[in-house]
Homo-oligomer: A and B are copies of this chain.
């Protein structure tokens, strides 16, 4: 779920501030990379990012994309995900927190939110005296109803 344009501008300003605090600069390339992440539907790999930024900036290199992603992670503006294919994927840290359901048949990733699960996680950590920094919940599902998987059949799934 991409952010609306007002939120995007707010994020860019925030990036500029965070960079300034670190003695760094908001360059054209950094802004381009961040805007793609902010506007993206899903979870982009560095390769996805590089390809998309190159549509507006032929000469940008992989190194700049990776370096920018690292700065964005350090600033807490984006988050890294790994869904098990060995590739890091990035998404905006803005917006509501959500978890992921990944279809093992077709690779489609769905976002979902569950406040009660969130609550229980905090409780589980607190009961051990720990403070949560962040968390990741990935649920792998057998198949889904995306075009790639086709509609789920009418017969009941093998629920347990």
Where the two chains meet, the residues of A that have a C-beta atom closer than 8 Å to any C-beta of B are 80, 82, 84, 86, 88, 101, 103-104, 110, 112, 114, 116-117, 120-122, 124-126, 128-145, 152, 157-160
Contact = CB atoms under 8 A, between A and B. Distances in A.
Contacts of A116: 120
Given A84-B80, A137-B135, A129 B157 contact: yes
Given A80-B84, A116-B120, A117-B117, A140 B132 contact: yes
Nearest to A142: B131
A23 to B, nearest CB: 24
Given A134-B140, A140-B134, A121 B126 contact: no
A140 B157 CA distance: 33
